[in-house]
Amino acid sequence: MKIDGIGALVTGGASGLGEATTRALVGSGARVVIADLNEEKGEKLAGELGDAAEFVATNATDEDAVAAAVERAAAAPGGLRASICCAGIGWVEKTAGKNGPHNLEYFTNVVGVNLIGSFNVLRLAAATMNGNEPDEGGERGVCVNTASIAGYDGQIGQVAYAASKGGIIGMTLPAARDLASRGIRVATIAPGTFDTPLLAALPQENRDALGAQIPFPSRLGDPAEFAALAEHIVTNPMINGETIRLDGALRMPPR
């Protein structure tokens, strides 16, 4: 699918991996709706990018909020053709420890935002794409979700996060099969350790140590590299039903 002229939705699009994806899509000619909870960052980014971007305050788990963001993205001349879901949260706690069992509310919250939120965006975006006219290749749209290599090899204390990301990986193929007859593709990116605002708060020594664990290149991933893969998925019609690890050959140790 060609990116130039299409409407795109990026949830979690105001910072980190989502911001990089927003910038890349705008740079390739898309009109992007930045769907994010952070109004300050979202409005600032939209203002910087001009008429090619619009911010819509959005909680990925809120059906009405996501529907509104999807509607705005669909108003682009090319219609909503690409949805990239980058919204997510984390939590660290063991299944059971000295203080008792894992807090169920926190587990539910992480799964709710990461997995259910991703599915909420996927289902609503796909329903709107369903009404698009197919392009010359028969495509109506592309949905890209964000998992994590923690969904494959989660570390100690990552049970909630790993479960949520593993769920995203697990729904990728059946969702792609569900939507195949309508020419809508679904794929997932599972990034490793990336240089996002969350890690920016760490001392440089700790950041360097995290990067050194990656076989090659031995550094933190650049959000622009995530964005480049997201763009490639949109433009490559044979990428469908697949989760792609983007991790420099990192396999996470237990801790």
Catalytic residue set: 161
**What's the DSSP call for residue 93?**
B
Other beta carbons less than 10 A from residue 156's beta carbon:
11
Query: In this structure, are residues 150 and 252 in contact, taking their beta carbons and an 8 Å threshold?
Result: yes
Supply φ then ψ for residue 54, to 5 degrees: -140, 135
* Rounded-to-integer distance, Cα 175 and Cα 150, Å: 21
Query: In this structure, are residues 82 and 6 in contact, taking their beta carbons and an 8 Å threshold?
Result: yes
Query: In this structure, are residues 127 and 165 in contact, taking their beta carbons and an 8 Å threshold?
Result: no
